[in-house]
Amino acid sequence: MSKLDSKIPKGPIKDKWTTYKDKIDLVNPANKRHIDVIVVGTGLAGGSAAATLAELGYNVKAFCYQDSPRRAHSIAAQGGINAAKNYQGDGDSVYRLFYDTVKGGDYRSREANVHRLAEVSTNIIDQCVAQGVPFAREYGGLLDNRSFGGVLVSRTFYAKGQTGQQLLLGAYSAMNRQIARGKIEMFNRHEMLDVVLVDGKARGIIARNLVTGEIERHSAHAVVIASGGYGNVYFLSTNAMGSNVTASWKIHKKGAYFANPCYTQIHPTCIPRSGDYQSKLTLMSESLRNDGRIWVPKNMDDVQAIRSGKLKPTEITEENRDYYLERRYPAFGNLVPRDVASRAAKERCDAGYGVNETGEAVYLDFGAAIERYGSEQAKLKGLVNASKEEITSLGEKVVEAKYGNLFQMYEKIVAENPYKTPMMIYPATHYTMGGVWVDYNLMTTIPGCYAIGEANFSDHGANRLGASALMQGLADGYFVLPYTIGDYLSDDIRTGKIPTDTPEFEEAEKNVTDRINQLVNNKGTKTVDYFHKRLGKVMWDKVGMSRNTKGLEEAIEEIQSIRAEFWSDVLVPGRADGMNTELEKAGRVADFLELGELFAKDALDRNESCGGHFREESVELDGEQKGEAKRDDKNYAYVSAWEYTGEPKDAILHKEELEFKDIELKQRSYK
């Protein structure tokens, strides 16, 4: 029997969340003092959840593998955060944000969750401003907005190109307030290595102290996983080096279903890779597509000349450029959603029009924006006969004010000045929409175990819109989980402290220790990175931007054999009883080697194209949409929730049928 009960409240979609909040059980403040909650991960979701739960009165234990909660990878989010404030008066509303998110997710998300997200979005901005987050402002002193892909309104709030940083520091400051009060006990440089179940409920975790190597038992009445996404399964991604699937994968192995692993976002604007030594890819914010125009040369001769260094992109005239997004999608142009933009770049590069040595790069050009802003500034300053140079210089200043830090970042990595020559970009793995399956309460299929933020699957369907990850992380942590978890914990007011000297904790600890010893004692011949790179190559080539049956079947076999080889031949030097960075990596890669297989299996099962998941077998064959991805609502309008049964290949598929009562299912058109 399937355990999939989404627990969506009854009633009209607009009232669900309000009615739900009115009806749930609460825990009185005196009792909250006797209840412990563990939060794993301190990004936007985990940090905001830990702070809010502590403020409500629960005793929180928060864990992160970094040396400080402020370093979680939410910090790297650049562009902004969406909210249905309609400050611009351009027709935005909660409904429109809800609609855009469901449509942008290619109708593969759960309506009720998305509507709730849109509802609480406005609170987030109020909250963050109250916390002192320095959002960008207009000259009148009010908040500024910009546009992101896939929408027709300006609803994105931002703090230069460092929005994630500022929001995370806001959540971190809220955590600090609670740490100072003793309501959050913070465990830096700790990694969760298993969840402990007592009578079927999540009652604690086993964690490794990454400084001393000590294996620790921590108990609680509920466990919240906020450990982010699994993009590093590709080895190269825009994730931080330490980002991993381990916490999510451990709870999966203990009974939490893993949903839609194949929904991965390949972000269109990243700095192209340059060599085999490369350790990560760097994102250039989607906000750049507000002002940057994407193109490749129209003529193959020009492509050749550029690659051989005989021609500069600025020397190619307008009529010889192919602004392929504007050509193919006139309504949205350069601001089509990410999946569409990525595939279009791949299409051009596969056709041979890539503009760097590897053939995997397209231009993102600010020339037109610089000229437009420059002319505007010249008018404002009353310069009647401004020279071209003056206009360019004025325009560059405007662009610098908007994106200065991104341009600087680009210049440092590539050693080219993006004000003078177009940026080169190419898609890269960025975000994972899939994740641990959760119900409306954000609870996994393990009672008392929750998953929030990127770690869960619920809000973005098959494709996430830009500036929505920050929104979801903070919505889950500040405004959703603190309510829903109370409903569960209200049954625990008489439970008392959970002891850790029980057989359940003992067994979990032993399993963790055994596995660590196995890795350290294996003494093989190959490094952890050797296996991780091989896994990444299989994932990128066969489970990347474009997938087909043959490739996916091969991928499954190849991943199985890499995994077998890993366990027989991996070399982890050093000891387990102290800081050992190779051991940390080994544990994470071992889990990626299992997840990767489930990922490919899920992609194989879903024989339709939707959002970031593109199956070559499922494309529109004729009409205006010819060549575009073809969704199959008749057969695939469900969430794939996988149950672990021993090996990824034996995972059992459970289906949560998606119902669309408020939004009509349509083909996504951005033409």
Partner 1 sequence: MDLVLKIWRQKDAEDKGKMVAYNVTDISEHMSFLEMLDVLNEQLVSSGEEPVAFDHDCREGICGMCSLYINGEAHGPDRGVTTCQLHMRMFNDGDTIFIEPFRAKAFPVIKDLVVDRSAFDRIQQAGGYISVNTSGNTQDANAIPIPKPDADEAMDAATCIGCGACVATCKNSSAMLFVGAKVSQYALLPQGKVEAKDRVMNMVNQMDKEGFGNCTNTGACEVECPKGISLTTIARMNREYLSASVTED
Q: Give catalytic residues, as residue numbers.
A: 338
CB of 643 to partner 1, least distance (A): 32
Nearer to partner 1, 358 or 607 (CB): 358
CB of 607 to partner 1, least distance (A): 36
Quick one: which of 579, 619, 653, 663 contacts partner 1 (CB under 8 A)? 579
Q: Are 20 and 6 in contact (CB under 8 A)?
A: no
Tokens of 193: 């290595």
Q: Please tell me the distance from the alpha carbon of residue 106 to that of residue 471, in angstroms, as a whole number.
A: 19
Decide: is 180 part of the binding site for partner 1 (CB under 8 A): yes
Q: Are strands 321-322 and 423-432 parallel, antiparallel or unpaired?
A: unpaired
Q: Hey, which residues between 209 and 228 contact partner 1 (CB under 8 A)? A: 211
Q: How far is the CB of 311 from partner 1 (least distance, A)?
A: 22
Question: Quick check: 627 binds partner 1 (CB under 8 A)?
Answer: no
Q: Provide the minimum distance between the beta carbon of 17 and partner 1 in the complex, in angstroms, as a whole number.
A: 13
637: closest CA among 620, 609, 659? 659
* Footprint on residues 405-434 left by partner 1 (CB under 8 A): 408-409, 412-413, 415
How far apart CA 77 and CA 365 sit, in angstroms, is 22
Distances (CA, A) of 140 to 92, 137, 163, 292: 21, 8, 21, 27
Q: According to CB under 8 A, which residues from 85 to 124 bind partner 1?
A: 85, 87, 120, 123-124
Closest CB 312 distance from partner 1, rounded Å: 20
Nearer of residues 77 and 340 to partner 1, judged by Cβ: 77
Distance between CA atoms of residues 567 and 586, nearest Å: 10
**Nearest-approach distance from CB 603 to partner 1, in angstroms:** 28
Task: Provide the mask over 356-395, with x wherever binding to partner 1 is found by CB under 8 A and - wherever it is not.
Answer: ----------------------------------------
Site string for partner 1, 234-273 (x = CB under 8 A): ----x-xxx-------------------------------
Position among 3, 14, 34, 280 found at the interface with partner 1 (CB under 8 A): 280
Our CA angle for 97, 103, 109, nearest 5°, is 95
Instruction: Provide the token pair at 650.
Output: 């034996």
Indicate the SS3 state at residue 236. Answer: coil
Q: Which is nearer to partner 1, 282 or 667 (CB)?
A: 282
Rank residues 236 and 345 by Cβ distance to partner 1 and give the closer one.
Answer: 236
For partner 1, how many residues bind (rule: CB under 8 A)?
Answer: 83
Which among 162-170, 312-320, 335-343, 643-651 is the span making contact with partner 1, rule CB under 8 A? 162-170
| 59 or 166: CB nearest partner 1 | 166
Give the span between the Cα atoms of 629 and 608, in whole angstroms: 8
Q: Which is nearer to partner 1, 110 or 183 (CB)?
A: 183
- Cα-Cα-Cα-Cα dihedral of 311, 312, 318, 321, to 10°? 70
In the complex, what is the shortest distance from the CB of residue 85 to partner 1, in angstroms, rounded to a whole number?
Answer: 7
Judged by CB under 8 A, does residue 500 bind partner 1?
no
The smaller minimum CB distance to partner 1, of residues 334 and 484, is found at 484
Q: Where in 596-666 does DSSP place strands (E)?
A: 638-643, 652-657
| Helical packing angle, 481-489 and 44-56, nearest 10° | 50
Structure tokens that stand for 414 in this block: 């590539």
C-alpha span between 146 and 353 (Å, rounded): 31
Query: Which of 61, 115, 160, 631 contacts partner 1 by CB under 8 A?
Result: 160
Beta bridge partners of 143: 137
d(CA 60, CA 489) in angstroms, rounded, equals 13
52 or 219: CB nearest partner 1: 52
Under rule CB under 8 A, residue 179 binds partner 1:
yes
For residue 371, the tally of other CB atoms under 10 A from its CB is 15
- The dihedral sign for the CA sequence 570, 575, 580, 584: positive
Report the residue from 574, 647, 669, 671 that binds partner 1 according to the rule CB under 8 A. 574
Of the two residues 186 and 344, which places its CB atom closer to partner 1 in the complex? Answer: 186
> Quick one: which of 40, 169, 306, 658 contacts partner 1 (CB under 8 A)?
169
Residues 38-57 that bind partner 1 (CB under 8 A): 48, 51-52, 55
User: In angstroms, rounded to a whole number, what is the distance separating the alpha carbons of residues 49 and 476?
Assistant: 7
- β-strand pairing of 638-643 with 652-657: antiparallel
- Could you tell me how far CA 204 lies from the centroid of its own chain? 26
Among positions 173, 356, 358, 522, the unique one binding partner 1 when judged by CB under 8 A: 173
Rounded (5°) CA angle 32-38-39: 115
Helix extents (H) in 570-632: 581-605
Distance CA 77, CA 286 (A): 10
Which of 265, 313, 264 shows the shortest CA–CA distance to 292?
313
Shortest Cβ distance from residue 628 to partner 1 (Å)? 33
Decide whether 33 or 666 has the Cβ nearer to partner 1: 33
The contact pattern for partner 1, residues 289-328, with x = CB under 8 A and - = no contact, is ----------------------------------------
Q: Cα–Cα distance between 32 and 492 in angstroms, integer?
A: 10
| Position among 188, 219, 429, 609 found at the interface with partner 1 (CB under 8 A) | 188
**Which residue, chain included where needed, has tokens 């190597």?**
213
- What are the angstrom distances between the C-alpha of 227 and each of 42, 64, 88, 223, 310? 8, 8, 34, 12, 47
Q: DSSP string spanning 504-563? A: HHHHHHHHHHHHHHHHHH---SB-HHHHHHHHHHHHHHHSSSSB-HHHHHHHHHHHHHHH
**578 scored as a contact of partner 1 (CB under 8 A):** yes
The span from the CA of 117 to the CA of 122, in Å, is: 9
Residues 471-490 that bind partner 1 (CB under 8 A): 478-479
Please identify which residue in 8, 24, 26, 76 interacts with partner 1, judged by CB under 8 A.
76
CA 455 to chain centre: 8
Q: How far apart are CA 252 and CA 259, in angstroms?
A: 10
Residue closer to partner 1 (CB basis): 529 or 633: 529
Where in 501-530 is the site for partner 1 (CB under 8 A)? 527-529
Which positions from 54 to 73 touch partner 1 by CB under 8 A, shown as an x/- string?
A: -x----------xxxxxxxx
By CB under 8 A, residue 29 contacts partner 1 = no
Q: Please state the closest distance from residue 507 (CB atom) to partner 1, in A.
A: 30
Complex with partner 1: residue 347 or 582, whichever CB lies closer: 582
Cβ at position 165, least distance to partner 1 in Å: 6
Q: What mask, x for binding partner 1 by CB under 8 A, covers residues 120 to 159?
A: x--xxxxxxxxxx-xxxxxxxxxx---------------x
Q: How far is the CB of 573 from partner 1 (least distance, A)?
A: 5
* Spatial CB neighbours of 352, under 8 Å, sequence gap ≥ 6: 300, 303, 359
Figure out which of the listed residues 174, 245, 462, 539 binds partner 1, where binding follows CB under 8 A: 174
What is the smallest separation between the CB atom of 175 and partner 1, expressed in angstroms?
Answer: 9
